Amino acid sequence: MLMNDSYDRKIDYLRISITDRCNLRCLYCMPAEGIQRMKHSEILRYEEIEAVVRAAADLGVSKIRLTGGEPLVRPGVVDLVRILKSVPGIDNISLTTNAILLEQFAQPLADAGLDRVNISIDTLDAENFKTITRLGDIEKVFAGITAAADAGLTPIKINTVVIRGFNDHEIIDLSDWALQRGLNLRFIEFMPVNDSSFTFDEKFISSDDIREKIFEHYPDMEPCKISGSGPAVNWRRNGDAGSLGIIEAVSHSFCSSCNRIRLTADGKLKPCLFSNEEVDLIPALRDGDLDRHEQLEKLIAEAVVRKPASHRDFTRVNSESRCMNEIGG
């Protein structure tokens, strides 16, 4: 079992970025011109991802989440899900997507063994969606949500980054929309990242402000547990299938309960989302003279030991940090 001495944390969750590419250009994630893409040779092959997952599973990891960039833009993602679901010890595989391509992929992914999806949507307004994403068609997202529900990829979680001046006026509209459809909506505090199109101070809204708006409109909300909810704090009204939640990484640290490590698309293990600490798996994966499985186990254990007790000051952008599309969130 993988344990981290800080807070005696059990690490059983691996997030895997399978590509740095994305079919959107969200304002808070990357500049309008996009980012410098990783070389094809730098991206982990699927058999290498499988090798990492097998080693992690032998150490006690049981949950996998596939991310990007946008994971559905990488060819063969359905095959990857099928491969990883067959790894002994892996109980749950989920995927985070912008849902632009999900309508065509939902059923094949479910058939391959995907358990559920998280879908990013920051507004219900078509024009505002184009403004925030620069490229997106919101109707494709709605179609993707419907397809995911029809395929049984539930509970469906909706991720909404709250940005002052862009979508903070839609908090209640988004909440009503989600609750009426039995969706689990989580509002996420805007985090300072490289290549965002605006500064943290001008666009940040705290979870306390979001919570105040929610409870002013829904005074009968009660705390609840959602399967795979991770760091979110969730609430539900009696009789509702859906729920509302907040992920408050900036204003209220949840480091003491963090159970995850992250694998970047170019083969680096990150013990913490906003730490520059990385453990390079490429030599173990591509040096034929090494016992790959044994070396991977040692490196994964090393990454867990290096997991910090708490993250850095989120109110300051670290110029050396990776962009969000390289990490997978």
Q: How many CB atoms lie within 10 A of CB 276?
A: 11
Question: Can you give the pLDDT at residue 275?
Answer: 76
Question: Can you give the pLDDT at residue 319?
Answer: 45
Question: Can you give the pLDDT at residue 273?
Answer: 75
Question: Can you give the pLDDT at residue 25?
Answer: 87
Kind plus residue range of the DSSP H or E element containing 187: strand 184-189
Q: Kindly list the structural domains of the chain, giving each domain's residue range(s) and its CATH number in brackets, ordered by start.
A: 3-327 (3.20.20.70)
Q: Can you say how many angstroms the Cα of residue 210 is from the centroid of all Cα atoms in its chain?
A: 20
Question: Can you give the pLDDT at residue 313?
Answer: 53
**Cis preceding-peptide flag for 144 (omega within 30 of 0):** no
Place of tokens 């979680």: 157
Two tokens, residue 24: 């959107």
**3-state SS track over 7-53:** HHEECCEEEEECCCCCCCCCCCCCCCCCCCCCCHHHCCCHHHHHHHH
- Residue type at position 317: V
One DSSP character per residue, 80-128 reads: HHHHHHTSTT--EEEEEE-STTHHHHHHHHHHHT--EEEEE---S-HHH
- Exposure string (b/e) for 23-51, b if CB count within 10 Å is 16 or more? bbbbbbbbeeeebeebeeeebbebebbbb
Dihedral sign (CA 140, 246, 328, 304): negative
Give me the tens of pLDDT residue by residue for the chain, a chain 329 residues long.
676 665 567 889 999 999 999 999 888 777 666 667 888 889 999 999 999 999 999 999 999 999 999 999 999 999 999 999 999 999 999 999 999 999 999 999 999 999 999 999 999 999 999 999 998 899 999 999 999 999 999 999 999 999 999 999 999 999 999 999 999 999 999 876 655 556 676 788 999 999 999 999 999 999 998 876 578 899 999 889 999 999 987 777 666 678 889 999 999 999 887 778 899 999 999 987 668 999 999 999 999 988 877 655 555 545 445 555 555 55
Distances (CA, A) of 193 to 91, 163, 242, 315, 322: 32, 13, 30, 10, 8
**Cis preceding-peptide flag for 108 (omega within 30 of 0):** no
Question: Can you give the pLDDT at residue 327?
Answer: 58
